[in-house]
Structure 1
């Protein structure tokens, strides 16, 4: 079935045009234009990608938690239709950053149970993300994030064995730099700038989650990894929820080892050097 026919079967009407949308490193993204001028975002799974039903499920969970996300119009394993979100290209301006910071702080402040992980496994990009129920945040971050991802990056031939051994050293010392939070938070899980949409000083929506119950600081670190946000984001966050001292100086870089390892597994290249520099920074 062609893309237009697939969209028609899923949404009950046939688009008059399907236009490519940039930024789809994982799924192929299209803008469906209908005869009345209405538009929808269509995501098409690439070969080997997990079912797109999982993304729809994660978006529903974030919406239930109060985070603004696109409406799910319909979908199946290989195609997902989302409400079109008007947004300004080029990242968030100061007003949108402040709103985004407040929204993420409210998400992190909401009750999220007493254990880390989630009631189902999720994905980050196209990669499986295990979420077994775990009592300790340090154990969860060590085993289900750092070491799990490192093992898969090594198996993919993109992480050198020497760096894998150095990650073991760092993983054995996490308690030197990280503390157990008072309680878990629901985290977006992939909070870089491309997954935060804004327009004219306002937040529009969050997209492409990789959610689980973890430490809220993983979202804040990811937001800084590619210089996606600046001071207005953290000002907005602090209006709702206090950020503990030491995050910018130490924990941010440590938490960003996980998304760096994701990028090593997916793309290799310069991300390997970024992992090596972080390990050296922590004496490992």
Structure 2
């Protein structure tokens, strides 16, 4: 860790640092578990000066201020340094934790806005996520999710031109598949298993958000892509917010397209092929 970051962490937390242990897996900069002289802990993310950690700080604070979703508290949130509360957690997610997650996300999705988008652009991992306020959901999802991330993946070789042309054809027909008039719900935005911390039979915190206001079905669909939750989650979620017919059969594949394009942009590999397989189902 850079000595300048160490000094700023100590100043922000008003405690001396005993050690900093590197944690693997950070998309933006490096992640550290900080142990202070008094035995307490925090988590620090450090990056180059012109980074975007301040946006992650904004998203965590927004969730804390506008919902009851448990997230780590922000201690310091600059472009190159993010310091947040350390959340004790354990591995695994049993049935009771899944039901608790359903309760929490159903409540989050009941926080709504008049339109789709957000008051500012946010991030999905290290990538910009544009959020201009938009009246119709299928317009927002087409322009700001499929077309935008499709171009990003195309420019980096994550998908080919034929796949992108299928995205454009799907965009022209998207209103046929996505219902209008659903609430513009506040979404965590990146709800896979690595971003859901458990402690015992409860959810301890959600981390690394990618917030915006959209159709809650998009968030729910993403959880199926990497098997974040199972049937107990969806059964409990339905008790709060019923799912409309056709969700699993028709709309889950359409909504996982965005996440697959994000992964194709970041990692290449088979994610673009998976996206193309879904696109062929709808537009040939």
The TM tier, using the shorter chain, reads: over 0.9
Displacement of 1:47:
7.9
Q: Match for residue 86 of structure 1?
A: 88
Once the two structures are superposed, what CA deviation does each residue of 1:76-102 show, in whole Å capped at 9, x if it has no partner? Answer: 11111111111112x422111111111
SS, match of residue 109 in structure 2: helix
- Find the aligned partners of 1:46 and 1:248 in 2 and give their Cα distance: 42
Displacement of 1:164:
0.7
Which of 17, 20, 36 is the aligned partner of 1:18? Answer: 20
- 1:220 is aligned to 2:229: no
- Find the aligned partners of 2:119 and 2:279 in 1 and give their Cα distance: 32
- Find the aligned partners of 1:39 and 1:88 in 2 and give their Cα distance: 16
Equivalenced residues, count: 281
- Find the aligned partners of 2:56 and 2:86 in 1 and give their Cα distance: 16
Displacement of 1:113:
2.4
- Find the aligned partners of 1:41 and 1:118 in 2 and give their Cα distance: 27
Write the mapping of 1:134-153 to structure 2, written as runs, cut at 5 A. Answer: 134-153=134-153
Once the two structures are superposed, what CA deviation does each residue of 1:18-49 show, in whole Å capped at 9, x if it has no partner? Answer: 1112332334211000111101111123687x
Q: Match for residue 73 of structure 1?
A: 75
Q: Match for residue 56 of structure 1?
A: 57
- Find the aligned partners of 1:28 and 1:4 in 2 and give their Cα distance: 13
- Cα RMSD between the aligned structures? 1.6
Bigger shift: residues 57-66 or 208-217: 57-66
TM-score between both structures, scaled by the size of structure 2:
0.94
- Give yes or no for contact 1:118–1:212 (8 Å, CA) kept in 2: yes
SS, match of residue 172 in structure 1: helix
- Give yes or no for contact 1:98–1:232 (8 Å, CA) kept in 2: yes
- Give yes or no for contact 1:43–1:81 (8 Å, CA) kept in 2: yes
- Find the aligned partners of 1:236 and 1:23 in 2 and give their Cα distance: 31
Q: Match for residue 121 of structure 2?
A: 121
Q: Match for residue 108 of structure 1?
A: 109
Displacement of 1:157:
2.5
- Give yes or no for contact 2:49–2:80 (8 Å, CA) kept in 1: no
- Find the aligned partners of 1:47 and 1:281 in 2 and give their Cα distance: 44
- Give yes or no for contact 2:15–2:37 (8 Å, CA) kept in 1: no
- Give yes or no for contact 1:26–1:46 (8 Å, CA) kept in 2: no
Q: Match for residue 275 of structure 1?
A: 275
Once the two structures are superposed, what CA deviation does each residue of 1:245-279 show, in whole Å capped at 9, x if it has no partner? Answer: 21111111110100110011111111111111111
- Find the aligned partners of 1:180 and 1:155 in 2 and give their Cα distance: 31
Bigger shift: residues 130-139 or 27-36: 27-36
- Find the aligned partners of 2:181 and 2:216 in 1 and give their Cα distance: 9
TM-score between both structures, scaled by the size of structure 1:
0.94
SS, match of residue 82 in structure 2: strand
- Give yes or no for contact 1:102–1:239 (8 Å, CA) kept in 2: no
Q: Match for residue 132 of structure 1?
A: 132
- Give yes or no for contact 2:169–2:283 (8 Å, CA) kept in 1: no
Unpaired runs of at least 5, structure 1:
none
Displacement of 1:169:
0.8
- Give yes or no for contact 2:113–2:186 (8 Å, CA) kept in 1: no
